[in-house]
């Protein structure tokens, strides 16, 4: 039994530490989800009253449903944590109750024994029956120790009873929390059902306008293609410039080394370090094997994996950019992603398109657009329905498209958070919108994991 109680106490102690850590993480996740849900709710409320259903509206609703499901899942985790707490608390109460029963039993035995033998343990008789002074001192010390032991037994019993009462009170508190969590979970499941009905209605509306939306998608595909071609041309130009610069520097270094070596040879010829001794001319037979000197050939310079990750400045910039993954600021304030990176498909339809970056909506046109990292503006161009700016950060390129105004020019060196332009209108003219693209040289990558959450 003692072994079982020890194991139970060990489990409660270790699990208590793990549970505390889990609670902190769960609370952090729940707060983040609540913040995102609040932002998404605000964004959706601004567009759900519009008569015309759009792809952006569906995208926002999809994201809202996704967050809602994650929030419900976090409540389920909380319920499991509460159940674990209650189970561990039951184990602790059981252990303390067994300990209390043992303490009471031991104390009762000492009381009964003392009562039965009270005549034998009379203080004066016990002390004066000592054989010597030292023996009397020892007997007095023993009696004091025995009294202290009984007092300690009483104190331990009271403390254990107090611990059990506190544990039971904590049990009641956790049960209240569980009931609140269950109520909240039921509420959130109901809200999720409403959101899914809204989504079905939006999809139905979009499906009835499939031809019109297909034209919008075709227009977007053409715009994305033109934008991608422009960015790729800029990237190739930057790679070529970096390659030419690297080769020119290598050539200049080789010529400088050759010149230095030639000057050293001339210096040694004009000012020999070994004196020349006068000797009589002698005739010598030519050797059968002529003496030859072999010049060391220059080894070919190995082509780097990327000329944009070649010089010290670019290497440092690339490393710094990579260290800021998930920490880059958003290009606009109060923006939400209305179209994610990659494949976007409208459910129950054949409508699908690939997004080269992410589409970010703002509350209104004219929102301030900012550089997400230090770099140099390598392209400012007009796509017909809006301006675009491309910034190079070593081998990384960020592009900000659908701008209605630009505040930088090609060659401008920008800092993180510096304003570069203003957001243009969205496709329906209801708010602001920009397309944010992130590339490693000519390869598109998802910007979302790089932005600060």
- The pLDDT score that the predictor gives to residue 73 is 92
Tokens of 137: 């001192």
Nearest-Å Rg of the Cα atoms of the chain is 41
CB atoms within 10 A of CB 14: 11
Tell me the C-alpha distance between 195 and 193, whole Å.
Answer: 5
Q: What is the C-alpha to C-alpha distance for residues 156 and 100, in angstroms, rounded to an integer?
A: 9
183, 175, 177: which is closest to 26 by C-alpha? 177
**What is the per-residue pLDDT for 155?**
86
Phi/psi at 405 (5° precision) = -165, 140
Q: What pTM was estimated for this model as a whole?
A: 0.67
Using alpha carbons, list the distances in angstroms from residue 233 to 378, 389, 398.
11, 14, 14
- For 68, 342, 453, the CA distances from 322, given in Å and listed in that order, are 31, 21, 16
CB within 8 Å of 370: residues ≥ 6 apart: 329, 331, 332, 417, 418, 419, 420
Architecture of domain 2-208: Orthogonal Bundle (1.10)
SS3 label, residue 183: helix
Q: Confidence class of residue 54 from pLDDT cuts 50, 70 and 90? A: low
Q: Burial, 292: exposed, middle or buried (Cβ in 10 Å; 0-12, 13-18, 19+)? A: exposed
Q: Give the whole-number percent of the chain exceeding pLDDT 70.
A: 80
Mean pLDDT of the chain: 81
What are the tens digits of pLDDT across the range 234-264? 999 999 999 999 899 889 988 888 888 888 8
Please, how many CA atoms are within 13 Å of residue 98, restricted to the half-sphere of its CB?
Answer: 13
CATH says 211-234+322-450 is which class? mainly beta
* Span 130-188, pLDDT tens digits: 778 787 778 778 777 877 877 888 888 888 889 989 988 888 998 999 999 999 999 99
Where does the pLDDT of residue 207 fall: very low under 50, low under 70, confident under 90, or very high at 90 and above? confident
- Distance of alpha carbon 133 from alpha carbon 269, whole angstroms: 113
What the block records as the tokens of 335 is 């923006």
| C-alpha–C-alpha distance, residues 148 and 215, integer Å | 92
Q: Where are the domains of the chain?
A: 2-208, 211-234+322-450
Contacts of 95 (CB under 8 A, 6+ apart): 5, 8, 9, 12
DSSP β-bridge partners for residue 424: 433
């Amino acid at each position: 039994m003692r072994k079982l109680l020890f194991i139970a106490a060990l489990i409660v102690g270790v699990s208590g530490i793990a549970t505390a850590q889990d609670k902190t993480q769960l609370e952090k996740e729940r707060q983040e989800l609540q913040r995102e849900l609040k932002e998404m709710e605000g964004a959706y409320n601004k567009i759900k009253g519009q008569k015309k259903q759009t792809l952006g509206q569906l995208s926002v609703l999809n994201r809202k449903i996704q967050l809602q499901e994650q929030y419900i899942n976090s409540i389920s985790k909380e319920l499991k944590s509460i159940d674990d707490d209650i189970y561990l608390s039951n184990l602790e109460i059981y252990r303390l109750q067994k300990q209390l029963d043992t303490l009471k039993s031991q104390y009762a035995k000492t009381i009964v024994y003392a009562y039965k033998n009270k005549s034998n343990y009379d203080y004066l008789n016990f002390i004066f029956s000592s054989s010597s002074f030292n023996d009397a001192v020892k007997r007095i010390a023993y009696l004091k120790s025995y009294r202290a032991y009984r007092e300690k037994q009483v104190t331990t019993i009271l403390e254990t009873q107090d611990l059990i009462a506190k544990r039971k009170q904590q049990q009641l508190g956790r049960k209240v929390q569980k009931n609140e969590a269950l109520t909240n979970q039921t509420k959130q499941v109901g809200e999720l059902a409403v959101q899914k009905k809204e989504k079905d209605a939006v999809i139905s509306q979009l499906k009835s306008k499939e031809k019109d939306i297909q034209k919008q998608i075709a227009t977007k595909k053409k715009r994305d293609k033109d934008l991608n071609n422009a960015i790729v041309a800029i990237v190739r130009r930057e790679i070529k410039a970096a390659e030419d610069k690297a080769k020119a520097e290598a050539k200049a270094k080789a010529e400088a080394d050759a010149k230095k070596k030639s000057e050293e040879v001339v210096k040694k010829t004009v000012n020999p370090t070994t004196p020349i001794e006068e000797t009589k001319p002698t005739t010598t037979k030519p050797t059968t094997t002529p003496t030859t000197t072999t010049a060391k050939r220059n080894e070919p310079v190995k082509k780097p994996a990327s000329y944009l990750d070649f010089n010290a400045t670019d290497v440092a910039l690339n490393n710094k950019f990579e260290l800021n993954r998930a920490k880059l600021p958003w290009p606009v304030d109060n923006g939400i992603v209305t179209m994610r990176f990659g494949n976007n498909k409208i459910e129950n339809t054949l409508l699908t398109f690939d997004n080269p970056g992410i589409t970010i909506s703002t509350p209104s046109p004219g929102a301030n657009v900012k550089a997400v990292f230090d770099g140099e503006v390598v392209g400012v161009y007009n796509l017909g329905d809006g301006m675009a700016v491309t910034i190079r950060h070593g081998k990384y390129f960020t592009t900000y498209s659908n701008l209605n105004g630009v505040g930088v020019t090609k060659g401008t060196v920008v800092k993180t958070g510096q304003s570069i332009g203003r957001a243009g209108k969205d496709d329906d003219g209801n708010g602001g919108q920009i397309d944010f693209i992130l590339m490693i040289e000519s390869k598109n990558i998802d910007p979302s994991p790089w932005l600060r959450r």
